[in-house]
Amino acid sequence: MINRVAIFGAGQRARELKRLLAIDGIALDYFVVDREYVTGSHFDKTPLISTEEFLDITTPENTALFLGVGMPKMNRIRERLFELFHSHGYEFSTYISPHATVLTKDIGEGNTIFAGVNIAPGVVIGDANHFEMGTIISHDCCIGDFNFFAPGCALCGDIKIGNGNFIGANSTLRNSITIEDYVLVGAGAYVDKDLSTGRVIVPQRSHILEDKTSEYFINK
């Protein structure tokens, strides 16, 4: 029986997940981090413990463990943690905000799906992916493991996403393309072609009008 709730991580994403759980009426017992990141007894007023302590005081049967780490090191940290906790017999729980619209049941373990996400029926989702607010995953997309979807990114239909990719905020991925592994899509990019492993795609940068301030537009 589950009587402990823990989040791995003690950063912005972990805190956000704690807030979402609280809205759902779920109280958090621990934030868990690698030993060198235990900087005090608490984080955000919740006990902060090391992985070793966590493994000592919980069991896989009595604990719901969520993955609250974002995209540092191009998602490799989440990949490492997933394997580490699996080796100790733990599965990560999947969190789906009741304020998300998730119409597929084909979802693996350890995913975090924040409020305002829309996922179409028929979409297939692997393990340990993170979906920020406003992500749209349209029909027939197939998503692997350890990917990070930033706020407002939109995947048109029939897209294949491999593992460990970062899909930046407000980017748009055209229908029927394939993104292999560890691709970085910059915020605001429009992706209309397949991307092989490790590619980086960015949009044109916005530029500052050096000869104007907003005063210029007051009387325009």
Ligand X SMILES: CC(C)(COP(=O)(O)OP(=O)(O)OC[C@H]1O[C@@H](n2cnc3c(N)ncnc32)[C@H](O)[C@@H]1OP(=O)(O)O)[C@@H](O)C(=O)NCCC(=O)NCCS
Binding track over 136-165 against ligand X, x by CB under 6 A? --------------xx--------------
Q: Which stretch binds ligand X (CB under 6 A): 40-48, 97-105, 135-143, 202-210?
A: 202-210
C-alpha separations of 22 from 28, 53, 170 in Å:
8, 24, 27
Among 169, 173, 183, 191, binds ligand X (CB under 6 A): 169
β partners of residue 172: 154, 190
User: Which residue's CB is nearer to ligand X, number 205 or number 212?
Assistant: 205
Of 58, 71, 54, 75, which Cα lies nearest the Cα of 11?
71
User: Which residue's CB is nearer to ligand X, number 127 or number 132?
Assistant: 132
Q: Is 187 in the site for ligand X (CB under 6 A)?
A: yes
Q: Is 103 in the site for ligand X (CB under 6 A)?
A: no
Contact between 69 and 13 (Cβ < 8 Å): yes
Contact between 80 and 19 (Cβ < 8 Å): no
As given in the structure block, the two tokens for residue 192 are 């209309």
Q: Is 205 in the site for ligand X (CB under 6 A)?
A: yes
Contacts of 219 (CB under 8 A, 6+ apart): none
Q: Is 22 in the site for ligand X (CB under 6 A)?
A: no
* Residues binding ligand X (CB under 6 A): 132, 150-151, 168-169, 186-187, 202-203, 205
